[in-house]
A = this chain, B = another copy of it.
Amino acid sequence: MFDVLLAHIQEKVTLSATDVAVLKSFFIPKKLRKRQYVLQEGDVCKYLLFVEKGLLRMYHVDEKGTEHMIQFAWEGWWMADTYSFLSGDVSEYNIDAIEDAELLMITLDNFEALLLQVPVMERYFRILFQNNIISKEKRLVNTISYSAEEKYTRLAATNPQLLQRIPQNLIASYLGITPETLSRIRKKLMKSK
């Protein structure tokens, strides 16, 4: 159950046997069916989630009812509405499962206790958050600097796994374009090679 999480942490910092025991004690395991929510708009994001297995998405729904994908997370990824989780304010986002999933969840209180009791976790999360900032910055630059077709080809070049595992309509939403436009772009790219 903790295999993926412990491997992920030990790539970045060293944990003692007691660290591992303490760490395990703070997490709640949870299984999810496809389409099941972990967080719904209007609720507070009570947990920081780690995906041991499966695939989640976080998305925002605008006034017209259109979904906008914020992030995907599969094995080895963390997910939460960071703002809601840390502030305790209600979330404007939704998180649900695209594939059946197994999660490890930690509350804010336990997260803070973990950082105090296992100080190397400060370093682990600092590094994790650094990497998160880098990928968010890249995503933003792609979103504001390129055309629909360029955005797609750049995603295909840098994140091919995403295209294999995630339905096209969700990819379209992630890129900020309609499924129709993505379909046409792909058709055009198929022809040209």
Contact = CB atoms under 8 A, between A and B. Distances in A.
Contact of A146 (B62, B83, B139): B62
Interface residues of A, number: 32
A145 interface: yes
Interface string A125-158: 1100110111011111101111000000000000
Contacts of A119: 119, 122
A3 to B, nearest CB: 25
A82 interface: yes
A181 to B, nearest CB: 14
Contacts of A184: none
A114 to B, nearest CB: 12
Interface in A62-114: 62, 66, 68, 70, 81-83, 86, 92
Nearest to A136: B136
Contacts of A92: 141
A35 B130 CA distance: 28
